[in-house]
Amino acid sequence: MSTGIIGVGISGLRAAQIGLLTTEHNITNVGTPGYSRQRIIQSTNPPVATGAGFIGQGTIVTQIERLYSQSLVNQVNAAQANVGELDTYYTQIKQIDNILADANSGLSPAMQDFFRGVQAVAASPNLLAARQSMISSAEALVARFRSLESRLNELYQGVGAEIQTTVGTINSFAEQIAELNQRIVLAQAGNNQQPNDLLDQRDQLVAELNKLVEVKARVDSDGSYSVFYGNGQQLVVGATVSRLVVQASYADISRLAVGVQAAGSVQELPENLITGGSLAGLLKFRSETLDRTANDIGRIAATLTLTFNAQHGLGQDLLGQVVGEGSFAADFFSVSQPQALANSLNTGNAVIGASFNAATAASAGGFYTNLTNSDYRLSYDGANYTMTRLSDNQTWTNASLAGLSTAVTSSEGFSFSLTSGAMAAGDSFTVQPTRFAARNLSVNASISADPRLIAAGMPLRTASNATNTGSAQISAGSSQVGFTNTSIPVGGVTIGFTAGGPPAPYTGTIDFPAGFPASGTISVTAGGVTTSYPAGSSIPYNPLTGATFDAAGLRFEISGVPNNGDSFSLARNSAGVSDSRNALALGKLQTQGSVSGGIANYQDAYARLVSDVGNKTREIQVTGDAQTALLKQSQSARDSLSGVNLDEEAANLLRYQQAYQASAKMIDIGSKLFDVILSIRS
Residues 482, 313: contact at Cβ < 8 Å?
A: no
Which 3 state secondary structure label does DSSP give 246? strand
Q: Does the pLDDT of residue 1 top 60, yes or no?
A: no
At 431-486, the pLDDT tens digits run: 999 999 999 999 999 999 999 999 999 999 999 999 999 999 999 999 999 999 99
Residues 543, 284: contact at Cβ < 8 Å?
A: no
At 171-188, the pLDDT tens digits run: 999 999 999 999 999 988
Lowest mean pLDDT among 100-104, 257-261, 322-326, 635-639: 100-104
Question: What per-residue confidence (pLDDT) applies to 2?
Answer: 37
Q: CB neighbours (10 Å) of residue 628?
A: 15
Domain boundaries, the chain: 2-67+646-681, 337-435, 460-572
Distance, in Å, from the CA atom of 230 to the CA atom of 271, rounded to the nearest integer, reads 10
| One-character DSSP codes across 280-324 | HHHHHIIIIIIHHHHHHHHHHHHHHHHHHHHHHTTSB-TTS--TT
At 31-63, the pLDDT tens digits run: 999 899 999 999 988 888 888 888 888 899 989
- Write down the number of H helices and E strands in the chain: 12, 33
CA 653, chain centre distance (Å): 58
pLDDT-based confidence at 505, cuts 50/70/90? low
Preceding peptide of 433 cis, ω within 30°: no
Residues 118, 314: contact at Cβ < 8 Å?
A: no
- Residue 201 phi/psi, 5° resolution? -60, -40
Question: Nearest to residue 272, comparing CAs of 288, 254, 248?
Answer: 288
Mean pLDDT of 357-368: 89
Residues facing residue 418 across a β-bridge: 352
At 60-86, the pLDDT tens digits run: 998 998 998 899 999 999 999 999 999
Preceding peptide of 517 cis, ω within 30°: yes
At 475-500, the pLDDT tens digits run: 999 999 999 999 999 889 999 999 88
C-alpha torsion 558→560→566→572, nearest 10 = -30
Question: What per-residue confidence (pLDDT) applies to 262?
Answer: 79
- Residue 259 phi/psi, 5° resolution? -135, 180
- The beta strands (E) that lie in 182-274 are given as 215-219, 225-229, 233-237, 240-241, 244-248, 256-262, 265-268
Higher pLDDT, 487 or 264: 487
Mean pLDDT of 341-355: 95
DSSP code of 515?
T
CA 119, chain centre distance (Å): 35
pLDDT-based confidence at 420, cuts 50/70/90? very high
What average pLDDT is seen over the chain? 92
Taking CA atoms, 644 is separated from 1, 46, 194, 663, in Å, by 42, 33, 19, 27
